[in-house]
Structure 1
Amino acid sequence: MSTLPPPEDRTDRDDRTDDGDIVIRVRGLKNCFGEQVVHEDLDLDVHRGEILGVVGGSGTGKSVLMRSIIGLQPPVEGEIEVFGENTIGRDETEATAIRKRWGILFQGGALFSTLTVSENVQVPLKEFYPGLDQALLDEIAAYKVVMTGLPPDAAPKYPAELSGGMKKRAGLARALALDPELLFLDEPTAGLDPIGAAAFDELTESLQKTLGLTVFLITHDLDTLYAICDRVAVLADKKVIAVGTIPELLALDHPWIQEYFNGPRGRNAVSSAKVHAEAENVTEDRG
């Protein structure tokens, strides 16, 4: 089986090679549910300023990996560093200092149904900065709502009054409430129609560039991978079997990788990416 060398050993990457440019470092990770081993000896690096897509078949533990990194699923074995700090076994004060620097969009948005959009966005602000004036909280929430492409009148609405796409954007607004450096997105386009999914991809890419974010993106959406991901990490056989650009992954002979990227959906995604690129070129030429 052909696999790419671990990210830290590769010599053909761009200039993001220093340890200071590794925002997330996972080494020797093992996760279990009872006697079922989900991950074993899993290694992964996420580089500053990149959008890293994370893919894998059902049951490969994509969300479990994210939950381990953010401290919700303590691993059985292994080391996890975020921003150069070991996140395992930290006391609450130290853990809080790290958590302030990331934002998370869980599947479905995970909004509190009894709170308005504005109040949902304010939850992390109140948790980490309990002394903030309510007027300032309202102002920050209103700004984050508009930042994610929602109309201003969405702020006083409840989740039940929002479409699926609007719920995702409201969840994203909450994830951005603390001006994070690192953004975790768990299946952000799941359940959206193609137009809504493409719009969310464009929003993610725009925010990443504007805010200088590092993005850890779990997805099964091939269009998303082709449209916005700098690199893709593939989970299989209880570990990350390869990390690289899509052309690099396509050169590998692992059966799951070949089936995933070269199957009918993969070919459709390639066609869509080419059409999108051609449209952008036409727009640039006219400009």
Structure 2
Amino acid sequence: MPELPEVEVTRLGLADRIAGARIESVRLGKPLRWTLAADPAALIGRTVRAVRRRGKYLLVDLDDGLLLMHLGMSGSLRFDLDLPAPGPHDHFDLVTSRGTLRLNDPRRFGAVVYAESEISPPAVKLLGGLGMEPLEASFDVERFYQGLRRRKAPIKQVLLAGDVVVGVGNIYASEALFLAGIRPSLSAARISRPRAVRLHSAVQEILARAVERGGSTLRDFAHVDGQSGYFQLEASVYGRTGEPCRVCATPVRQIRQGQRSTYFCPICQKY
């Protein structure tokens, strides 16, 4: 699944190129997870002002309203002046004066939703419960610690939930917990303040490094220019079951938590 770094890499590759573009047409393919919630023809003539990110959502600001885009489990965006004819997994085209923005999503869990503003019901429904942004100055360590103290669930599950800190998906949760030396099955409420500070720093470091490496490409994700991400090649534990820990050489273990695979080192992450 594209996680926060992949969405941020997509935004960085798109924002400057599409800003100021005029929408010329909109093409809808097969139904996605949620409907557009607007008449496609009503978007024609509007201008793209900017592209922002909130968690794993891209917010395409228009001169009137905004589009909320989610890549789902397997989606990716392409933006180019000359894209080929839409294929069977190309479900949304935003044709603009600067190129076509296309959503490709083989599993169709992604979505493009129109909202009049960030306080209108469609936007509030999708964004209202999201936690702090880990790559912004507003990611406050004390609020993070207090948020963990209120949760008895395993720390890995709390990171994935997105209501304490947003966008730390499966890959990066495993990596941040390894860097902080915290066992993924430990109850979040049992994490001391000093360890919460380490985890806070680890989340920021891992996500920032992943953005620098272009995110992770495990199956379908690609940048807006079609290139792959490379963070997965330097992962410490994710996807390395049975391989030696890069720190202590102990074989990396894999467990299942909430239907997701979790990877950790039993020595470096004892508690």
Report the TM-score, using the length of structure 2 for normalisation. 0.31
Flag the structure with higher helix content: 1
Higher relative contact order (CA 8 A, sep 6+): 1
Report the TM-score, using the length of structure 1 for normalisation. 0.30
